[in-house]
């Protein structure tokens, strides 16, 4: 619709090309964020991150149990069976398609695919690293022997 404004200039009702581009871009961003969440299948990155958080939580719980109970506690990681065992929590498993590599102190190596990280009553540990990978994505968890604290990724 064409009309005349108060200043006498003619104007057209409607949207400019720039306004349409901004709206289309915002809709594309919203769809890009929403579709993976609505698909029901978590992304590989999300699944790997969940496994890392679960293992990090198990490490912290085992360390806390050693301190609270004033005794040693060992978190055992079994790569072949994809399980975590600790006196601080029930046995847990991680997804079978998540590959793991374990690097622990020699006395804590129970078999080629099974080993532990021992925590002492003062919070220290034998230390160790666990590398989790899923379809080309990797995340490393390092347990500091002096503090017993786990660190993830680039903080190792």
Helix H or strand E encompassing 97: none
Spell out the domains of the chain, with CATH numbers in brackets. Answer: 2-38 (no CATH), 44-155 (3.55.40.10)
Per-residue pLDDT at 48 exceeds 90 = yes
Tracing tokens 């990681």 back to the chain, one arrives at 77
Predicted pLDDT at 72: 97
pTM for this structure? 0.74
The candidate with the shortest Cα–Cα distance to 44, out of 138, 130, 129, 131, is 138
Per-residue pLDDT at 1 exceeds 60 = no
């Amino acid at each position: 619709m064409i009309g005349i404004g108060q200043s006498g200039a003619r104007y057209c009702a409607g949207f400019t090309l720039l306004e349409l581009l901004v709206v289309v871009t915002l809709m594309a961003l919203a769809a890009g964020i929403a579709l993976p969440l609505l698909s029901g299948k978590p992304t590989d990155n999300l699944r790997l991150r969940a496994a890392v958080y679960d293992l990090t939580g198990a490490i912290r719980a085992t360390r806390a149990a050693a301190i609270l109970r004033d005794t040693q506690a060992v978190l055992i990681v079994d790569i072949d069976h994809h399980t975590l065992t600790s006196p601080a929590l029930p046995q847990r498993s991680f997804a079978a398609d998540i590959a793991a590599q374990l690097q622990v102190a020699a006395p804590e190596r129970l078999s080629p695919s099974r080993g532990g990280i021992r925590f002492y009553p003062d919070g220290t540990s034998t230390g160790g690293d666990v590398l989790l990978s899923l379809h080309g994505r990797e995340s490393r968890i390092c347990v500091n022997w002096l503090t017993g604290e786990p660190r993830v990724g680039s903080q190792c």
